[in-house]
């Protein structure tokens, strides 16, 4: 079914995004896999092309397009190359940007955003902790007030871009007595005394993304690095989760559809018992089901994109888009592996990598179980 949410400007932007991917990402995928990270050159080129500052006002180096559909287009094109790349760039330009733009002071914006847009400064978000998972209100990292700033102690884990981030938006507990209402956000910068990166985590999939642990040992963070209001960090995070979740949904379905399209071409050419694998009725029916599920899911996600662009996407609808797209993505990719037969289990085939990479989408940005809990509560249950 033809998608109807994009216009000529979006199509032109998509062509530019695809060109960037084809020129700067695709030829270097083996390098990224080997090094388990995306190097600075790829970030700088993305910044040069204007892809990292879509939500940032022009006076700070961005383009301030004011249209979330452009974010979706870039996320889709990168997702077609690799889910890992989409997660790394997405955390930066789609998740971190709203925190800096919406909550940052004028001085903070001038200090960070120009380099954020150029790719010279890479951002990460430090929320998840070893014992917390999806329960952001239970975080244990603390920040105690001192003269001129705060002293942070604690740790974070599963942090995308954590291996190379220059600025980490870090959630810490500033008033233990207030529970969720006693959390504050801090911009922790690389090089601060006591701030250390742990090992680069050995993940099942998404090898190219530099995911790591972060440690804070008596890290002094000056008052001018407090992001937003003191003790309102949890609210700040909740207000921006809808964008993170719709962004995840955009990437999930784009990633799945790309591999599904490649699989359809594969089963047309792959022969067994004297005919193409795709011509067997079971496989034909299976692919008909998968294509239909993909298109129906895409229609819902497109509706969520437009709703978010018009500032009317609810947290519950964002949760629906996130969990369902992750579910369908994994169902599609598991079937694609099966349709490739033994080759689908070989790392040299994109379908195998995609299958591994997708598994985490049912866990991060709030696990699918948490998404269903939110939806269930909204039903009055």
Active-site residue list: 244
| CA distance linking residue 214 with residue 209, whole number of Å | 15
Q: 3-class SS at 152?
A: strand
Give the pair of three-digit tokens for residue 379: 């039903």
| CA distance linking residue 7 with residue 80, whole number of Å | 20
Beta bridge partners of 170: 126, 186
| CA distance linking residue 46 with residue 119, whole number of Å | 7
Length of the chain: 381
Residue from 380, 247, 253, 381 nearest 318 by CA = 247
Cβ(209)–Cβ(88) below 8 Å: yes
56 phi/psi in degrees, rounded to 5 = -105, 130
| CA distance linking residue 164 with residue 169, whole number of Å | 14
| CA distance linking residue 79 with residue 182, whole number of Å | 36
Number of continuous H segments (helices) and E segments (strands) in the chain: 12, 10
| CA distance linking residue 215 with residue 198, whole number of Å | 7
Residue from 183, 205, 185 nearest 82 by CA = 205
| C-alpha 331, offset from chain centre | 20
147 phi/psi in degrees, rounded to 5 = -60, 120
Cβ(71)–Cβ(6) below 8 Å: no
| CA distance linking residue 54 with residue 64, whole number of Å | 5
């Amino acid at each position: 079914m033809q998608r109807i949410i994009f216009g000529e400007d979006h199509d032109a932007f998509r062509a530019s995004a695809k060109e960037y991917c084809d020129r700067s990402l695709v030829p270097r995928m083996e390098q990224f896999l080997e090094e388990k990270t995306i190097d600075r050159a790829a970030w700088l080129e993305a910044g040069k092309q204007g892809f990292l500052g879509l939500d940032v006002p022009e006076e700070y180096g961005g383009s301030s397009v004011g249209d979330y559909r452009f974010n979706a287009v870039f996320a889709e094109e990168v997702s077609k190359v690799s889910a890992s790349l989409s997660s790394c760039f997405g955390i930066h330009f789609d998740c971190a940007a709203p925190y800096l733009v919406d909550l940052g002071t004028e001085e903070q914006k001038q200090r960070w955003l120009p380099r954020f847009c150029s790719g010279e400064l890479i951002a990460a978000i430090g929320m998840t902790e070893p014992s917390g998972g999806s329960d952001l209100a239970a975080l244990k990292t603390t920040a105690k007030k001192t003269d001129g700033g705060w002293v942070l102690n604690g740790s974070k884990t599963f942090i995308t871009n954590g291996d190379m981030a220059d600025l980490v938006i870090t959630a810490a507990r500033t008033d233990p007595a207030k529970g969720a209402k006693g959390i504050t956000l801090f911009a922790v910068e690389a090089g601060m005394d006591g701030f250390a990166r742990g090992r680069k985590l050995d993940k099942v999939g998404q090898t190219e993304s530099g995911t790591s642990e972060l440690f804070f040992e008596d890290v002094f963070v000056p008052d001018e690095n407090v992001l937003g209001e003191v003790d309102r960090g949890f609210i700040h995070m909740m207000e921006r989760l809808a964008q993170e979740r719709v962004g995840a949904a955009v990437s999930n379905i784009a990633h799945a559809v790309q591999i599904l399209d490649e699989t359809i071409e594969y089963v047309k050419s792959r022969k067994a018992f004297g005919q193409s694998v795709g011509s067997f009725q079971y496989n034909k029916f299976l692919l008909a089901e998968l294509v239909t599920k993909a298109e129906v899911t895409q229609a819902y996600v497109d509706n969520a994109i437009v709703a978010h662009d018009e500032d009317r996407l609810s947290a519950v609808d964002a949760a629906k888009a996130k969990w369902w797209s992750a579910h369908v993505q994994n169902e599609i990719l598991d079937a694609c592996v099966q349709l490739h037969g033994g080759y689908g289990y070989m790392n040299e085939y994109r379908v195998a990598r995609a299958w591994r990479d997708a598994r985490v989408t049912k866990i991060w940005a709030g696990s699918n179980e948490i998404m269903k809990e939110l939806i269930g509560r909204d039903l009055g249950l």
